[in-house]
Chains A and B, each alone.
Chain A
Amino acid sequence: MSGNMTAPVRGGRKTNWKDVVFSPRYGGLATLLLVLLATPLFIEGLYQFDIAILVLINATVVIALNLLVGYAGQVSLGHAAFFGLGGYATAVLTTRYDWPSLLALAAGVVLVAAIAAVMARPILRLKGYYLAMATLGLGMIIYLIITQETWLTGGPDGMSVGALEVFGYTVFDELVWYWILAGLLLVMYWLAVNIVESPVGRALRALHGSEIAADNSGVNVTHYKTLVFVLSAGVAALMGGLYAFYSGFIAPNTAGFMHSIELVVMVVLGGMASLVGSIVGAALLTILPQYLVVFSEYEWLVYGLILMLMMIFMPRGFVPTLHGLIRRVLG
């Protein structure tokens, strides 16, 4: 399933223009850059920028998650907890202990990465649904701690967060936020392309295929799985922290089960093992509910129906399906 679309431009074969255009490294990155640069020209106001910013945050998280789910084949149903924990760590450290913004952000990432590193070994030993269950369990424990420790986190009602301050400059303006997060998305995308096309990446894809085969070929399976798990958790924590700063408020449902499911759906809907797909999936699922509000009470009914139909008719995900279609047309 991770086959043709993400195939790197191989050295041995003669590369034609189509390979370059459709390669994630060149075509993908260039398109992403263009879209990110152009978007501010077409949107305006608090709300439209808010949606754009949420798309950027989700896309960055989903790319990292896709490395774990799409490439390494390890489903995580607790990823929102890493996002939420990153957010809460930043929120608590800056508002209750007066830490500087960046230090708090870093502390959140380190905390989550450490938890992920410690838990990686026992959790990643599990397979399939058992793995999903273990990540769900870990996520729920984090979520429950966040809701219970009211003195620290404000409990179920959430807590306010101060603005992001970087070297004496307070980031308030939506446009500034947009550029910061767009930059981060580009970096994440670049990083992911490099990981995917590196020997590590090939090892990861081997994992998704068959673990035993990967093991036999001398790939250190456990090591790479752990690495990707920690990376994706850390990225989620970073984005969670930035989200807390940006929105000025954080509530437990950002760490909840439904949010975890939503992140996985973004991965699958966009296309497993497709980095561009992750961005499209994140954008689709962030923007879609905003349009569905016209259905009023029928909103969730329609949302569920769209989810079902998309998976039935595009099981490989939005981008790989589209990609396959275009390739076929171009011959």
Chain B
Amino acid sequence: MLKKLLPVVALSAALIGIPGQGVADDDPIRIGSFLSVSGPASYLGDPQRKTLELFIERINENGGVLGRELEWQYYDDAGAANEARTFARRLIAQDRSDIVIGGTTTGATMAAAELFQRQQVPFISLAGAVVVVEPVKEWVFKTPETDRMAARQVFADMQQRGISKIGLISGTGGFGASGREQAHKVADEFGIEIVMDETYSPDDSDMTAQLTRIRGNDEVEAIFNFDFGQAPAIVTRNYADLGIELPLYQSHGVASEGYLDLAGSAAEGVRLPVSPILVAELLPDSDPQKAPAMEYLEAYRAEYGEKPSAFGGYSYDALMLAVDAIERAGSTDPQAVRDALEATSDFQGVTGTFNMGPDDHMGLDIESSFRMVEIKDGTWSLLDQ
């Protein structure tokens, strides 16, 4: 009886996949990722997957890191925080990742963050919200600009134009809700008052009603739409159809070619802060982001036949930061890599210049990471600042 059972046990153990032990120096460096490749945030997660896939392959073609090959394992969390948590566990315990890059959304990142803290594995998040790095978590880093920075950048531009009363319209998804909160927090700093505050669900297909309400308030001098995905393009179209004359601002959440395609001519005159990668070709050669951004852009375009988005750029920077930290650490020892990441200084990424420190695990400043652009003739044009 027992004999009969043995193969069954062996098979189930094999199926569950009890991992082998022992790490030698010529073992590959294991990079793990959990990304929202499908689901409501696939708009962000898909370019991130493409970016990591492409550049890890390229690094390997060029001899890897520390003479070791990079091995990449990714999972699709479909934008669900609980899935993300399980995959993070899998990456840590099963795949024994040396470093993890991922967490497309803030929810996915926060669901997994505590795990990286507890298990002491370096983790670079691709999520936007401030909460990821505030308060600082020892093992958690991130590459995207925060939504607070985006709000500040937009409000600074409004202030310059003498705008003081605005209507805010945002989505109720994670990105929009967090952006809305930050916009309310920092508006005062720029003497801006949010006199209308409208929301819509991320799946809504028409925001005419909300915009009509904003238009009905005579005090409003400008409209600010904080969200990502397709909804801001609908807002832009509805805004143009309604013939609203007020200036329209978008957030960095629409910073992709997709927005230009969807919104079409309605987007003329829209202003927004964007990652340098989006305007790489327009940047002067003296700009420190010009070189890395062009390199990323050209490689990505050659492979996928489309221009990369800012979201892909976040994962590019995360990968390059990880590689840089591992090289400086001289090993994949988690503590050493973490310390090296934290000591990152003057690193020129495509999102900006990173200067990390014990109390700053993002390390971006507004000046290097955001460029204010206006949409003219169907494309981005840099605003002089």
Contacts and interface: CB of A to CB of B under 8 A. Distances in A.
Report if A and B touch in the complex (beta carbons < 8 A): yes
Contact of A155 (B85, B89, B174): B174
Contacts of A51: 86
A46 B81 contact: no
Interface string A228-264: 0000000000000000000111010110000000000
A47 B92 contact: yes
Interface stretch (A63-71, A213-221, A292-300): A292-300
B8 to A, nearest CB: 11
B114 A248 contact: yes
Given A48-B16, A156-B177, A251 B94 contact: no
A251 B37 contact: no
A158 interface: yes
A307 to B, nearest CB: 16
Contacts of A158: 81, 107, 110-111
A59 interface: no
A43 B14 CA distance: 11
Contacts of B81: 157-158, 249, 251, 253
A194 interface: no
A50 B86 contact: yes
A157 B82 CA distance: 11
Interface in B88-118: 89-90, 92-94, 105-107, 110-111, 114-115
B334 interface: no
Contacts of B93: 45-48
Contacts of A290: 86, 90
A44 interface: yes
Interface string A143-167: 0000110100001111010000000
A148 B86 contact: no
Contact of B9 (A42, A45, A293): A42
Nearest to A51: B86
A54 interface: yes
B120 interface: no
A251 B107 contact: yes
Given A54-B86, A247-B85, A297-B37, A46 B119 contact: yes
A300 B42 CA distance: 14
Contacts of A155: 172, 174, 177-178
Interface string B163-190: 0000000001110011001000000000
B156 to A, nearest CB: 26
B87 to A, nearest CB: 8
Nearest to B131: A157
A248 B110 CA distance: 10
A249 B89 contact: no
Contact of B89 (A46, A157, A160, A253): A46
Given A48-B16, A247-B85, A156 B110 contact: no
B347 interface: no
Interface residues of A, number: 30
A248 B76 CA distance: 21
Contacts of A46: 89, 92-93, 115, 119
Interface string A271-298: 0000000000000000000100100110
Contacts of B246: none
Nearest to A247: B85
A42 B13 contact: yes
B107 to A, nearest CB: 4
Contacts of A44: 18
Interface string B16-45: 101100000000000000000110000000
Contact of A50 (B18, B80, B89): B89
Interface string A31-49: 0000000000011111110
B200 interface: no
Nearest to B108: A251
A297 B75 CA distance: 10
B177 A150 contact: yes
Contact of B105 (A43, A157, A254): A157
Contacts of A48: 16, 93-94
B12 interface: yes
Contacts of B76: 293, 296, 299
B129 interface: yes
A253 B12 CA distance: 31
A293 B94 CA distance: 14
B173 A156 contact: yes
Contacts of B82: 247, 249, 251, 253-254
Contacts of B131: 157
A276 to B, nearest CB: 19
B178 A157 contact: yes
A296 B94 CA distance: 18
Interface in A53-97: 54
B16 A157 contact: no
Contacts of B80: 251, 253
A204 B152 CA distance: 61
23 contacts: A42-B9, A42-B16, A44-B18, A46-B89, A46-B93, A46-B119, A48-B93, A156-B173, A156-B177, A157-B105, A157-B106, A157-B110, A157-B129, A158-B110, A158-B111, A160-B110, A248-B114, A249-B82, A251-B80, A251-B81, A253-B79, A253-B82, A297-B37
Interface of B: 9, 12-13, 16, 18-19, 37-38, 75-76, 79-82, 85-86, 89-90, 92-94, 105-107, 110-111, 114-115, 119, 129, 131, 172-174, 177-178, 181
Given A48-B93, A157-B131, A290-B90, 18 more contacts: A45-B94, A46-B89, A46-B92, A46-B115, A47-B90, A51-B86, A147-B172, A156-B173, A157-B81, A157-B110, A158-B107, A158-B110, A158-B111, A160-B110, A247-B111, A249-B82, A249-B114, A251-B81
7 closest A-B pairs by beta carbon, nearest first, are A251-B81, A46-B93, A156-B174, A47-B93, A45-B93, A249-B111, A157-B107
